[in-house]
Amino acid sequence: MSVLVVKCGGARAADAAAEIRELVRPGERVVVVHGAGPQISRAMAERGLPVEFVGGRRVTTADGLAVVREELAAVNRAVASALGPRAVGLFGDVVGLKATPVPELGLVGDALPSRPPAVAAAVAASLVPVVAPLAVGPLNVNADDAAAAIALGLEAERLVFLSDVPGVYHEGDVVGSLGVEEARGLVAAGAFEGGIVPKLLAAARAAAGGVDATIGATAVVA
């Protein structure tokens, strides 16, 4: 059984369904992992909570985590509704997505390769699990990191990151492909900043584990 994991950001949640359908190959089962970054930042600012990122990951307090869950729930409903009746909304912390705590960022975790039973069962039944990236704890998990962890846990064939940009830009151009060690080296050297950092590291992690990973037109290869 061939499995495709698609990660879509919160900014694209409303219009991602059509693009996800176009990505699917005949006979391929699909898992969707989504974020809600813009919605969470906006809601936190409205409530007077600090919006802080370190290395592209959100610093998350207990009050912040409540906002994260609320906004993820809204995006999860929207994505599942747009995908149609075979979509099943799931929360990672409820279904068993595991993570290693990162206490310096607050209630945040590094997702571990996981095969949540509810996700695997939905895939086997030809349903489309739509997963919100919280891990057991609960811990806030970067959606890119969660998508890679689930792709590895399910032994997926492909992991596709839907992006607002055509691919990974380096020195002014979109790169056709990056090797895993090259990608990690460029990140370590400070060649990238912001949200592309966790996305590129997640793609490298998946590729190193045998999953074909792409960010727009950029393939990250082992």
Residue 148 to residues 111, 143, 210, 213, 217: CA-CA distances in angstroms?
8, 9, 11, 9, 18
What's the whole-model pTM score?
A: 0.95
What whole-number distance in Å separates Cα of residue 109 and Cα of residue 138? 9
> What is the pLDDT at residue 11?
73
pLDDT at 190 over 80: yes
- pLDDT tens for 4-50 read 999 998 777 767 888 899 899 999 999 999 999 999 999 999 999 99
pLDDT value at position 14? 64
Contact between 65 and 133 (Cβ < 8 Å): no
Q: How far apart are CA 159 and CA 156, in angstroms?
A: 7
- The structural domains of the chain, with segments of one domain joined by +, span 3-221
For the domain covering 3-221, report its CATH number.
Answer: 3.40.1160.10
Is residue 24 within 8 Å of residue 30, measured between CB atoms? yes
**Rounded Cα distance, 197 and 132, in Å:** 20
